[in-house]
Amino acid sequence: MPGPESPTDPSRVAERAALEREAARRIAPDPGLLSRLAEVREHLVRRASTEANHRGIPLRRALVAGSAARGTFLHERFDIDLFLLFPPDLPRERLEAEGLRLAEALLESPEKHYAEHPYLRGRFEGFTVEAVPGFAVEDPSRPQTAVDRTPFHQEYLSEHLAPGQVEEVRLTKQFLRGLGVYGSEAKTAGFSGYLVELLIVRFGDLDSLLRAAQGWQLPVRLATPGSRPAVPDDVAMIFDDPVDPHRNVATALSAESLARFILAAREFLRSPTLAAFFPEPRSPLSLAGAKERVQARGTHVAVVRLPRPSLVDDILYPQLRKAERSVGGEASRLGFEVLGTSSVAGVKDLWIGIETSSGTLTHVRVQHGPPPGLAHSEAFLAKWTAGTAGILQGPYIRPDGKLAVDVAREEIRLEPLLSEAAPGLAIGRDLRESSKTGVSARPLDGVDDTPEIAELLDRLLNKRLPWNRS
């Protein structure tokens, strides 16, 4: 018999159901919007075919897919995704050219954007539309571009997502959005809309998904028997694409985002609240507040600035995270105790924050050597002869039987050491190229109070679970 604290306790189930109904009511799109959207989708597809015929563009098929086609969008933020599908034997260069030419004929105020290849974003009958070219392939397991599986996804979800589950998808997206883990773009590294819909198909509704998720352990494996998605060792979740069993739908989902969702599932089942769907906006930690916190912690914070290259986010953010790891790793190699790192992409610059237990090292550095008897032990002794400049003690033999010598550090401050090491760090090809114009590291007292710095310091020094934040 479930107790009053159990997620399956009838009163607790009823409480969650009432909150979910209220949240669903708040995010439900207006019926008039849905009706108008259905009309515009038809007009858009029809117009694409007409314009293609008129201009001699070899369009195989135009298709509106995604959340706008299935009604699973969050009402205040959605675009219409129009896919312009061309014959698979069309050369890639012509695909891009013809796709952009057709999109320009369809959209008002078109703007060019870049993902795997260029696409246009503009307006059509009052709605924002993203027109993306792709190939009309016959086998979804053999796509030529990243969007070629889209028609198959649309067909699968049209068949398997029940009408009553559309609301559950929106509710799940809002729950994930409240946690900051909705969106598969590299900046968020969260749950894609397609993954959310597949999870609701699998588990039925949000409550059932949360009950299952509260017991998940990383890595989470939801692959169906017989599927063989190719995944790296450090993947957080495996969920095979039903239209391509070799593809993992959850590749973009980070371990941090998934772990946050697992804990949030437990929290909501135990203590449901509307704030799980609509959290209160929270101001980031100010520069003054960060300085007070660092002083109270007795630690040291350095901020590294790199010029921002002209890259799309999906390329930029993986390299920025790699740079963040490299900066932290270099500080550890130098001998600093690293307590945490963070990173933020600004408009002109990239910022990396690092907190260490101290901003300086001791003046003494132990240079470790080989044990006596090895050929290069003689070379070590010859190099570090007593009396050589910089030697403070030794050479001597350590308790483990190996040679060592104590030498004086020329620089003991974190910021100059990081600035000097920056050109040799593994920070990604594009960041390395842009950083040739200058990388600087400065202490907290040397940075300006800007929104970007506030966000950086908030991520570094104000880390809490979302439902525990004041």
What does the pLDDT look like over 387-417, one tens digit per residue?
Answer: 677 888 889 999 999 999 999 988 999 999 9
Domains of the chain (ranges, CATH numbers): 31-146 (3.30.460.10), 161-276 (1.10.1410.30), 287-360+412-464 (3.30.70.590), 364-408 (no CATH)
**Percent of the chain at pLDDT exceeding 70:** 95
The pLDDT tens digits of the residues spanning 44-80 come to 999 999 999 999 999 999 999 999 999 999 876 778 9
Task: Report the predicted TM-score, pTM, of the whole model to 2 decimal places.
Answer: 0.88
Q: Classify 450 as helix, strand or coil.
A: coil
When comparing pLDDT for 424 and 196, which is higher?
Answer: 196
Whether cis (ω within 30° of 0) applies to the bond prior to 2 is no
Spatial distance between the Cα atoms of 225 and 221, rounded to a whole number of angstroms: 11
How confident is the model at residue 387, as a pLDDT?
62
Confidence of residue 255 (pLDDT cuts 50, 70, 90): very high
Detail the DSSP E strand segments found in 156-299. Answer: 220-221, 237-238, 240-241, 244-248
- Three-state secondary structure call for residue 393: strand
What lies within 8 Å, CB to CB, of 379 at 6+ separation is none
**Is the torsion defined by CA of 395, 397, 399, 400 positive or negative?**
positive
Contacts (Cβ under 8 Å, ≥6 apart) of 424: none
Query: CB–CB of 343/456 below 8 Å?
Result: yes
Checking if the pLDDT of 331 tops 80, the result is yes
Comparing CA positions, the residue from 344, 360, 357, 347 lying closest to residue 303 is 344
